[in-house]
Amino acid sequence: MEKSASVSLLISSLGNLPAMPVVAQKVLSMIRNPKSNMAEIAELLSLDQSLAVLVLRWANSAYYGLRHPVTTINQAVVVLGQQAIRNVILASTVATMMDRPVEGYGLEKGDLWQHSIAVAGAAREIAKDKGYEIAEEAYTAGLLADIGKLALETLLRGIDLSSPEWQGKSFEDLEEQFFGVDHAYLGAELARRWNLPARLMDAIEHHHDPQDSKEGRSLAYAVHLADYSIMAMGIGLGRDGLQYELDSSAVDFYEFNDDKIGELIDVIPNFIESSSAMIRAINIPNA
C-alpha cells in the first residue's frame, strides 16, 4: 500500500470521521493479542452497556440459530467467537460514521449504511462454505469496502461526470484520475489504522480487482461478488453502481450462479432490517 505524498491530505481526512469508543478500541486490541482469553474480553465488554447489549442481541440473532437464549456476556462471547465480536464492534462504529448523505456518490442518508451492511452479510453468506473464519472475515471486508467514499464524496460534488470525456470509465478509474487514489484504497488505509489483519486490508483494497489481491484473495472474491449482487438488487445504488464489471475468476472460485444470487435475494432484506434494528435498539444512530 504505497501512494505518493499528494494523497496525504485525503488519507488524513479519515481522521475526521467519528472516533471509535474507547472500550471498542480496547476489545479490538485484545482480539489481536493471542494471549488474551474470552473471559477477559467478556469482562471488558461488560464495561460498555451499549456494546454489551449489542453483543447479546447478535448472539441471539437468527443467523446463529440457537435453541436456547443467550443471557450473559460470557455466554455470548463463546457463541460468537472473536471474529464475530470484532464484526459487532465494527458494525456499530460504521453505522455511526455512515449516518449522513453521501452526495458525491448520489447516496441519500441511509443508503451507504444499507449497502455496506448488505455487502457484509452477502459476503459472509457467499464465503460460508469456506469455513467460519473466512466467512466472518468476508463480513468484515464487506462492511468496510466502501467506507473510503466518505473521504472522497465532498470533492466529487463539484465534478460534472456527465461530460463526454468521463463516459465509459469506471468510477474507480475516475477516482484515481481526479485524486490519485480510489475509495477502496482509502478503506484499506482505515483498516490499517484500526490494526486489522493484512489479508483484510488487501481484500478491501482489491474488492473491485480481486485477481490483484495477494493475501486475501478468497475474501476479495467474496466481497466482489457480494458488492455486485447488492448493486444488482438496487440496494444503495449510487452514481457508480451502473458501471460495475463482474470478475469471472471470482465467479469461478465460488461457483457463483443465478441460484446463489436468488438465495441472497431471499435473505439479505431481512438481514439488513435485523442488523439495523439491533443498532437502533441501543441508540447508536444509523442511517
Q: Comparing 267 with 276, which gets the higher pLDDT?
A: 267
Determine, yes or no, domain membership for 51. Answer: no
- 8-61 pLDDT, tens digit per residue, is 677 676 666 667 888 999 999 999 998 899 999 999 999 998 899 999 999 998
Structural domain range at position 165: 87-281
pTM: 0.89
Chain-centre distance of CA 218, in angstroms? 15
Determine, yes or no, domain membership for 73. Answer: no
Domain count for the chain, please give it. 1
Determine, yes or no, domain membership for 38. Answer: no
Q: The cell 488519507 sits on which residue?
A: 11
C-alpha to C-alpha distance for 147 and 116, rounded to whole angstroms: 8
The sign of the dihedral angle between the CA atoms of 151, 133, 110, 203 is positive
Contact partners, residue 127, CB within 8 Å, separation at least 6 = 134, 135, 137, 138, 218, 219, 222, 254
CATH assignment at residue 143:
1.10.3210.10
- 241 pLDDT more than 50: yes
- 112-132 pLDDT, tens digit per residue, is 999 999 999 999 999 999 999
Average pLDDT of the segment spanning 137-160: 89
